[in-house]
Amino acid sequence: MQLNCAGKMLDLNQPAVMGVLNVTPDSFSDGGCYLQPDAALRRAEIMAEEGAAIIDVGGESTRPGAPLVTVQEELDRVLPVVERLTQALSIPISVDTSKPEVMREAARVGAGLINDVRALQAPGALDVAVTSDLPVCLMHLRGEPATMQQAPRYSDAVAEVYAFLAERVQVCEAAGISRDRILVDPGFGFGKTLEHNLRLLRHLNRFTDLAAGVLVGISRKSMIGLLLNTPVTERLSGSLAAAVIALWQGAKIIRTHDVRETVQALCVCAAARAAE
């Protein structure tokens, strides 16, 4: 199984690592460093060298309490970087956005995948995604980033996240995005308690029948910090353990800040998983 990302292929037959490139001034673990296209390209080249299969460029901080970003601000941050990276690298570049204008312009300058934490629910987003012909990642988010961590409640988190993603996949299919260009993501940390996140990880294999693949982002997130009682700079080992569990449970793409280490951990996991 391969995804056609604007002409660059993303192979889902082996674990794919998605390297995170934040182009926000305030992102929680590596913010402010990669606002300049030159700095962004240097960082992306390192991640590609380390084995990233795709680079995810994000210009909207979805951290709880983060200021909202205007369309123009997000375009100004994201477009120069997406354009530069697309030209310079042989791997596809994904754009982490919920705004249809940003999706459209990013696609125009060569983005290979639309990664939307709001699952194409913003007015106009679905149409842009259909027209772009790009693969999409649909993520589950409960509430709004500003308030999503204020006591999120579910009667059954796994069933509710599954039902939401199944519905969004159906809506996308009806609009003309075939299932084989759709990825789904339970959205670790997005309106979930530690217990919800752990149940989603434990039962991640249930999501694999929904679309072409499951993508997960757990790298450095607070669920790791809560389990280990460590700050964001000391969550690598925990993040690797979570990445291995996710792969074992059938995830195809792991989104991470630490590409080299994640590629190595997943290499061992995939070998064991493939053994007879």
Please report, as ranges, the residues that interact with ligand 7PM according to CB under 6 A: 20, 27-28, 61-63, 96, 115, 117, 137, 139, 185, 187-188, 215, 217, 221, 255
Least Cβ distance, residue 65 to ligand 7PM (angstroms): 10
Shortest CA distance to 23 belongs to which of 112, 93, 87?
93
Least Cβ distance, residue 185 to ligand 7PM (angstroms): 4
Least Cβ distance, residue 239 to ligand 7PM (angstroms): 10
Q: How far is C-alpha 252 from the chain's CA centre?
A: 12
Instruction: Give 73 or 276: the residue with its C-beta nearer to ligand 7PM.
Output: 73
Least Cβ distance, residue 216 to ligand 7PM (angstroms): 7
Instruction: Give 74 or 185: the residue with its C-beta nearer to ligand 7PM.
Output: 185
What φ, ψ does residue 17 adopt, rounded to 5°?
-105, 130
Q: Is the CB of residue 164 less than 8 Å from the CB of residue 188? A: no
H/E/C letters for each residue in 118-154?
A: CCCCCCCHHHHHHHHCCCEEEECCCCCCCCCCCCCCC
Q: Is 100 helix (H, G, I), strand (E, B) or coil?
A: helix
d(CA 204, CA 244): 12
Instruction: Give 162 or 188: the residue with its C-beta nearer to ligand 7PM.
Output: 188
Q: Please indicate whether residue 199 is annotated as part of the active site.
A: no
Residue 127 burial (C-beta neighbours within 10 Å; 0-12, 13-18, 19+): middle
d(CA 103, CA 59): 12
Catalytic option among 181, 192, 199, 255: 255
Q: Which helix (H) or strand (E) holds 161?
A: helix 157-175
Instruction: Give 8 or 255: the residue with its C-beta nearer to ligand 7PM.
Output: 255
What φ, ψ does residue 18 adopt, rounded to 5°?
-100, 115
Q: Which residue is nearest to ligand 7PM (CB)?
A: 217
Instruction: Give 87 or 179: the residue with its C-beta nearer to ligand 7PM.
Output: 179
Catalytic option among 181, 220, 221, 235: 221
Least Cβ distance, residue 29 to ligand 7PM (angstroms): 7
Q: Which residue has the tokens 């697309």?
A: 86
Least Cβ distance, residue 232 to ligand 7PM (angstroms): 9
- Bridge partners (DSSP) listed for residue 20: 56
Instruction: Give 20 or 79: the residue with its C-beta nearer to ligand 7PM.
Output: 20
d(CA 170, CA 263): 32
The residues assigned a catalytic role are 221, 255
